[in-house]
Structure 1
Amino acid sequence: MSTSDFIPGTSRYSTFLRYAHWVTVVLVFLAYISINARKFLERGSAERLLAVESHYLIGIVVLLITVPRILVRLRQEAPPILPALGPASRLASKTAHLALFMFLIVQPVLGVASRLVSGRGIGMPLTEWSIPSFAVAQPELAKSLIHLHEFIGDAFYYVIGMHILAALWHLLVRRDNVLQRMV
């Protein structure tokens, strides 16, 4: 990263934040594909295990990218939106982004926690490696965490969809620089 990435008042987010955003987009897309693919694969098959373990690994990577992304974002001023948003639009934007970042933290944490409190480890795809569970198996808690993880995952189809529609609205209708700040 160059020092110009951290100059306040520039028209785009820093290189790190832009790349982290788009890598996260791809990873979340792959996480949804991998977990939904398992529904079409035979229980106990190597293909199903690969889909599930890939989902776990992708979730962990999302978490590992999101934490520094949030820390950097808290330290850097956002490039201005031109023309400026009104108060209601600013509130909607801040609320949506807070929800998205909470999702990117809460979902992987719930996924990992559900596996660990189930007494099972988290297998790494295409290897014999796993993150072992050191917790005493608590099947009811694990089941509750899995249901919450699935509920939030389903709800976020809509939040992600609204985020995409908002970006398109800014680009095509409002014709401001919201999307350009992230590319």
Structure 2
Amino acid sequence: MIRNTPAGWGSISRWFHWILAVAIIGMIGFGWWVNHVPARPDRFFYRSIHADIGYVVLLLTVIRLAWRIGNPTPALPDDSRPWQNIAARISHGALYLVVILVAMLGWAHSGAHTPDYSSFFGLFHVPQFTSPDREAARAYEDRHILFAYVLLALIVVHVAAAAWHHYIRRDRVAVRMLTEDAKAG
């Protein structure tokens, strides 16, 4: 099934989830590495790659969010408590919000940094919405890093909730993101 159903995630939603999961976790690790590499001539190159992948993550996140809005969200099990439904909605909303915020702060940093990171893998230039400004670039970068850590914390909570559903509740909520057949097993 391509589209979501009330019982499970469709293949497009699962692909978006896993591609973005790998990309975002990779970007957090790569960003940490880039910021902890001693100053050297190729540092700008690595930061440019980080920015290019960030533009892709932002685009895919917006497309994924549009896809999610246009598809039903699979329900939690009937025996779930109301607070669990609220927590799931809040945590998923926070994940989307913070992914977009981190990417937008990175993009803002790109335009404020001199030289900017607008060259997309050398193919074309991504329009920038901020102007060169050293102090603004530092502020955007500081907030970009801060919210990347917030995002990492949200990912830890998300993974912990999936593990709780899988190993403690054994309600197959986590399995739905792995397989089409939510009732199997």
Task: Normalising by structure 2, report the TM-score.
Answer: 0.84
| Corresponding residue SS for 2:2 | helix
Q: Deviations over 1:7-44 (max 9, x none)?
A: 633x3211111100000011011111211222443313
Pairs within 5 Å for 1:109-148: 109-122=104-117, 124=119, 127=122, 130-131=125-126, 133=128, 135-148=130-143
My pick for the range that moved more, 121-130 or 62-71, is 121-130
Compute the RMSD of aligned alpha carbons.
2.3
Gaps of 5+ in 2: 179-185
- Closer, same or farther: CA 39–105 of 1 in aligned 2, 3 Å: closer
Q: CA, structure 1 residues 39+149, in 2 after alignment: closer, same or farther (shift >3 Å)?
A: closer
1:80 Cα deviation after fit: 2.4
Q: Which residue of structure 2 lines up, in the alignment, with residue 168 of structure 1?
A: 163
User: d(CA) in 1 for partners of 2:129 and 2:150?
Assistant: 31
Q: Higher helix fraction: Structure 1 or Structure 2?
A: 1
CA contact (8 A) 1:6 1:14 kept: yes
Instruction: State the partner residue of 1:6.
Output: 3
2:181 aligns with none
- Displacement, 1:157? 2.0
Closer, same or farther in 2 for the Cα pair 1:42/1:105, shift >3 Å? same
Residue 17 of structure 1 pairs with residue 44 of structure 2: no
2:4 touches 2:74 (CA, 8 Å); kept in 1?
no
Structure 1 vs Structure 2: percent identity of aligned residues? 24
Partner of 2:183: none
Gapped runs of 5+ residues in structure 1?
none
One-letter code of the match for 2:41?
S
- 1:41 paired residue number: 37
CA contact (8 A) 1:115 1:142 kept: yes
Structure 1 stretches of 4+ moved >6 Å: none
Aligned residues: 178
1:83-102 to 2 correspondence within 5 Å? 83-102=78-97
Amino acid aligned to 1:51: Y
Contact preservation (8 Å) 1:13, 1:79 = yes
Structure 1 residue 125 displacement after superposition: 7.7
